[in-house]
């Protein structure tokens, strides 16, 4: 309606002369001291009594009506009713901007997956996908909470945005994966997986029965998010998909580790130590016929290459070029855990607990600052496993000693 009035204001000048009839769309003939319409209805005519009577026979709408005079008659801007003539007032959420800036400047370099350019693309993408924006803010707040645990605002913001991210992410997954949203879903999966490393219920330390509710929850979550990522890879092409596939083709972390450590004999030494560990736990399986042996050694083979590289580093070899691969490899380990190992962990099989111990002890020994997101869960699991080992008096082989 306002557009129609603004575009034909000369035709409705009479309506504006008496504002009460402007509201009821009655025509005002501009007679003084009272217009005909107001006289008939026996109501006061509230247009200006100081306006001289029009005796020229020319409609005032044609002689002196302008948008400005029409506006001033009623005292508000009818042409742009939603915009005030005073300077607009917008609230700036400085706290949220601070966290957004922190993600771009400080959190991105610590992430295990994705190049700086890929994350810059993701930051822009987040502006049009709210669940991705919430996941981004949640992880940045978690980072700030790690750096400044005394400031409780960061933890509150982290949990708030995590809840919003999960809600929006589920809604996105309920719909169709399309060209427009597959990159956002892929990136959100990566951010939520990072975030899952940072959150551990410390109260769970006192529980001895429900082991899977605490330390191993990152594994089923990782496997679920892997399924989401695979779905996006299979169904649609996208920037994240192409970047990850290119990385796998050109830079296999495991192959890099084997190339560096294979000729040294360290990997063979580690295999013998893991076999020794197995026979200490399962002495009756001297012929290695149990399926537990196959599961245990298969999982050991997955962590032996990275342990070997770390041992070389501790001996003085320069492994700076391998650091990113170490971070990525350790970050991705729970994603590819076998279902059999996961079942062993849930059943509190000592071999499953030992593998958890060796993996997270390897993360601790890596001691890479940028892996801040792993610290809380790593410390939690090592304390938990050590307590269980002490209670059950399980023998643990020191695989790091020479």
Q: pTM higher than 0.75 for the full model?
A: no
Average pLDDT of 263-276?
A: 92
Backbone angles phi, psi at 14, to 5 degrees: -65, -35
Condensed to tens digits (0 to 9), the pLDDT of residues 187-228 reads 998 999 899 888 776 544 333 334 333 444 566 666 666 666
Q: What's the whole-number average pLDDT of the chain?
A: 76
DSSP string, 169-180: HHHHHHS---TT
DSSP string, 332-373: HGGGG--HHHHHHHHTT-HHHHHHHHHHHHHHHHH--GGGHH
Provide CB contacts within 8 A for 2, sequence distance 6+: 78, 79, 81
Instruction: Output the CA–CA distances (angstroms, integers) from residue 138 to 8, 103, 147, 166, 237, in the order listed.
Output: 51, 10, 14, 10, 27
Condensed to tens digits (0 to 9), the pLDDT of residues 310-336 reads 999 988 998 888 888 899 899 888 887
Condensed to tens digits (0 to 9), the pLDDT of residues 280-312 reads 999 888 888 888 899 999 999 999 999 999 999
| Amino acid 97: pLDDT | 94
Does residue 48 come out as left (phi exceeding 0), alpha (psi in the -120 to 50 range) or beta? beta
pLDDT bracket for residue 229 (50, 70, 90): low
Instruction: Output the CA–CA distances (angstroms, integers) from residue 269 to 263, 301, 307, 360, 366, in the order listed.
Output: 12, 12, 11, 20, 19
User: What angle is formed at CA 197 by the lines to CA 196 and CA 200, rounded to 5 degrees?
Assistant: 85
Inform me whether the pLDDT recorded for 71 exceeds 60. Answer: no
Between CA 326 and CA 138 the distance in angstroms is 25
| Nearest-10 Cα torsion for 102, 108, 110, 112 | 150
Q: 359 near 299, Cβ under 8 Å?
A: no
Q: 278 near 293, Cβ under 8 Å?
A: yes
User: What angle is formed at CA 29 by the lines to CA 24 and CA 33, rounded to 5 degrees?
Assistant: 105
Q: 226 near 244, Cβ under 8 Å?
A: no
């Amino acid at each position: 309606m306002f557009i129609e009035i603004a575009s034909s204001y000369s035709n409705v000048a009479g309506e504006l002369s008496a504002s009460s009839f402007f509201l009821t769309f009655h025509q005002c003939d501009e007679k003084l001291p009272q217009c005909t319409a107001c006289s008939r209805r026996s109501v006061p005519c509230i247009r200006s009594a100081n306006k001289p009577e029009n005796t020229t026979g020319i409609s005032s709408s044609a002689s002196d009506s302008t948008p400005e005079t029409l506006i001033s008659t009623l005292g508000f801007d009818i042409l742009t009713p939603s915009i005030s003539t005073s300077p607009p007032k917008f609230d700036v959420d400085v706290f949220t901007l601070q966290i957004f800036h922190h993600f771009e400047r400080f959190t991105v370099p610590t992430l295990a997956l994705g190049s700086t350019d890929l994350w810059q693309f993701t930051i822009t993408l987040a502006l049009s996908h709210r669940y991705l924006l919430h996941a981004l803010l949640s992880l940045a707040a978690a980072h700030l909470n790690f750096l400044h645990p005394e400031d409780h605002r960061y933890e509150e913001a982290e949990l708030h945005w995590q809840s919003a991210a999960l809600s929006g992410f589920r809604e996105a997954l309920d719909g169709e994966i399309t060209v427009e949203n597959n990159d956002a879903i892929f990136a959100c999966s990566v951010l939520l997986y990072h975030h899952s490393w940072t959150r551990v219920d410390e109260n769970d330390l006192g529980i001895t029965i429900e082991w899977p509710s605490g330390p191993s929850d990152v594994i089923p979550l990782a496997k679920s998010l892997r399924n989401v990522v695979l779905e996006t890879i299979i169904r649609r092409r996208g920037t994240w998909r192409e970047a990850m596939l290119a990385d796998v083709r050109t830079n296999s972390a495991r192959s890099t580790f084997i190339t560096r450590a294979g000729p040294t004999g360290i990997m063979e030494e580690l295999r013998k130590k893991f076999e020794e560990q197995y026979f200490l736990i399962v002495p009756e399986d001297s012929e290695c016929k149990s399926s537990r042996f196959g599961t245990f050694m298969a999982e050991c083979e997955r962590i032996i290459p990275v342990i070997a590289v770390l041992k070389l580093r501790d001996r003085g070899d320069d492994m700076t070029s391998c650091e990113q691969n170490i971070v990525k490899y350790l970050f991705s380990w729970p994603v590819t855990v076998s279902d059999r190992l996961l079942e062993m962990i849930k059943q509190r099989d000592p071999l499953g607990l030992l593998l958890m111990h060796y993996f997270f002890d390897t993360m601790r020994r890596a001691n890479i600052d940028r892996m801040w997101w792993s610290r809380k869960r790593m410390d939690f699991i090592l304390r938990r496993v050590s307590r269980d080992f002490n209670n059950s008096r399980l023998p643990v082989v020191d695989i790091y000693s020479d």
